Amino acid sequence: MQQIWPEHVALDDQQLERLYTYPDKRRWLAVNYVSSADGAVEVGGRARQLSNPPDQKVLKLGSDLADILLVGATTAMVEEFRGAHPDESTLERRRRHGLRDILPTAVVTTGRSLPADAPVITEAATPTIVITCTAAPVKKQKTWEAAGAELLIVGEDTVDLAAAIEALTDRGLRWIDCEGGPHLFGGLLAAGVVDELRLTISPLLVSGMHERIATGIALEPIDLELASVLAEDDAMLIRYLVRKRLRDL
């Protein structure tokens, strides 16, 4: 992997791991995304069609080094999330960083888009946390629990994402790796809890009518600080820090 900013240098695996290690803050939320060069976030309805080996490498680092994986229910279903099932390299890395062997997953839903038999619940190796609101049907809540999930209820009619992130942090899950989707990313931005954007620009042009990486209510522009730019196999891997969060931490 070639780092081309802030300095041009080849990175070995250890240097790449250090670059993507979460900072020693009370809490850090990094959002991972891949898009085409013309801004599409999916091909044929799935983001993985845009991914490539360099993207998969940094995506794996994001989850390997995190305390918890955060994802929206629709993304979890479309991308067929089934919880973390660590390979030997992941186990070695997580143990070296003092993390639990199996990364837990937290799924955000108001209740409509997450069935009780979702693979992210039923196939997870450790209980999935379903983050929902009091408006979610009680029957649905009970079926999630019966399927093995833990419930985190924050908010009335909608999920209070700021309260959800605070609750995860209070549980010691302070390094949070978010893998979408766009509505969750937009909601996290509106809640003011995003610290870092890790964006892979895939060397593809797809045109069409596609969502942005963040959607939802309009926000005042949020200033970003460029942290690093890498390149491999014609893909660019960019890390941005959210300036407001840098001042707050």
Burial of 60 (0-12, 13-18, 19+ CB in 10 A): middle
Position 45 scores a pLDDT of 80
pLDDT class for 246, splitting at 50, 70, 90? low
pLDDT class for 2, splitting at 50, 70, 90? very high
Q: Which residues pair with 237 in a beta bridge?
A: 200, 230
What's the whole-number average pLDDT of the chain? Answer: 94
Kindly report, residue by residue over 188-241, the tens digit of the pLDDT. Answer: 999 999 999 999 999 999 998 878 899 988 889 999 999 999 999 999 999 999
pLDDT at 136 over 70: yes
pLDDT class for 248, splitting at 50, 70, 90? low
Distances (CA, A) of 53 to 159, 163, 198: 34, 35, 15
Amino acid type, 169: T
- Distance CA(70)–CA(83), nearest Å, equals 11
- Distance CA(103)–CA(82), nearest Å, equals 12
Mean of the pLDDT values across residues 8-34? 96
pLDDT class for 46, splitting at 50, 70, 90? confident
CATH (domain of 231): 3.40.430.10
Structural domain total, the chain = 1
Q: Going by DSSP bridges, is the β-strand pair 196-202/235-242 parallel, antiparallel, or unpaired?
A: antiparallel
pLDDT at 249 over 60: no
Edge-to-edge strand list for the sheet holding 150-153: 9-10, 2-5, 224-232, 235-242, 196-202, 28-36, 175-178, 68-72, 105-108, 129-132, 150-153
pLDDT class for 245, splitting at 50, 70, 90? low
Amino acid type, 6: P
pTM of the predicted structure, to 2 decimals: 0.95
Position 247 scores a pLDDT of 52
Q: Which domain holds residue 142?
A: 2-248
pLDDT class for 1, splitting at 50, 70, 90? very high
